[in-house]
Amino acid sequence: MGWRQNLYNKRSAKKYGWFPHWFEADGFNDELAENIKNFQLNHSQTQDGLCGPITYRLILATREAAQDNMPSEGECKYIICGGRKVPIQWDKVNNIYEVDNYALPSNCYRKYKPKKRDIKMIITHFDVCLSAASCKRVLEKKGISSHFVIDNDGTICQMVDPQNSAWHAGKRAVNRASIGVDISNAYYTKYQSWYRRKGFGSRPILEDVKVHGVQLKDCLGFYPVQIEAYKTLVKTLCDFYDIPLEMPMAKDGTVLRAVSKNVRRGKFCGIANHFHVTRGKIDTANLDWDRVLKELGD
């Protein structure tokens, strides 16, 4: 019966748009079926372990009621790490357990059991998308992932539990050892008018950005609220996973703007960028990393 339950629940999840973690399970397996049975028992339903239309409506109503009871703006918010709620001192957070979440499907990342992943790094990206919602759509379509994306208004949107390995850095050793954080930024100056039309205001235009020894064309920078959200998220993750607030450094004492061998090999401990992994990437060279690093340490 087990494989039939798993197959039914996979099809149900695709049809209705629910996820195994709604029933506190990590996949379509016997644990999920058992947890669904317990949920059905608590709601006086037939205990068949199948999330059919009635069970789906019940779990959706339960989650919506829980959402209504979540802290309001100004109170404590959470990200989810290893299935646990980790408080974060930021008033705009959308974690993977919320009703209208940004969670990516499980085929976009590799699952790990608790305490099985040795997280050493945070790898920072820009998404070359106009919003967190479009970033999620692109990642889902490509079958890849990042753990978080920071939207234009500074909302921290969680897409994957850091317990699992997201496919964001192109190198298996890096993905296995890191948390991926995207910051929404379409990068090209031609999109400045879109941001204005949507009410976000103008982004900074940067004229002297260098990486890999090359000066880049003029590009869009980040909104201050995004940088503040990023620093808060990074501090929270570094504290929870005991990651040092350090970055690869050049000989002159500034943040390295080239590939780092230790980052590329997945052996660096600290905060890095996608351009530290490969010469083929420039994100996020359009951030003043020396200033960000200093502020992270203050």
**pLDDT 10s digits, 174-212:** 999 999 999 999 999 999 999 999 999 999 999 999 999
Q: Which string of DSSP letters, residue by residue, matches 113-142?
A: -TT-----EEEEEE--SSSHHHHHHHHHHH
pTM of the model: 0.76
User: What's the chain's average pLDDT?
Assistant: 91
Whether 158 shows a pLDDT value over 50: the answer reads yes
Give pLDDT, residue 25. Answer: 81
Is residue 116's pLDDT more than 80? no
Give the torsion sign (CA, 46, 52, 55, 59).
positive
pLDDT band at 74 (very low <50, low <70, confident <90, very high): very low
| Residues 254-275 pLDDT 10s | 999 999 999 999 999 999 999 9
The CATH superfamily label for domain 77-297 reads Peptidoglycan recognition protein-like (3.40.80.10)
**Model confidence at 71: pLDDT above 60:** no
Tokens of 9: 């629940």
- What is each CA distance from 241 to 16, 163, 178, 245, 247, in whole angstroms? 34, 10, 11, 11, 16
**The sheet that has 156-158: what strands, in order across it?**
93-94, 156-158, 148-150, 178-183, 121-126, 270-273
The pLDDT tens digits of the residues spanning 271-287 come to 999 999 999 999 899 99
Task: Report how far apart the first and last C-alpha atoms of the chain are (Å, whole number).
Answer: 57
Round to whole Å and give the CA distance between 192 and 196. 7
Task: Give the span between the Cα atoms of 220 and 83, in whole angstroms.
Answer: 36
Domain extent listing, the chain: 2-68, 77-297
Secondary structure of residue 45 in the 3-state scheme: coil
pLDDT at 73: 45
**Confidence class of residue 3 from pLDDT cuts 50, 70 and 90?**
confident
Rounded CA-CA distance 138/134 in Å is 6
What is the predicted pLDDT for the residue at 80?
A: 93
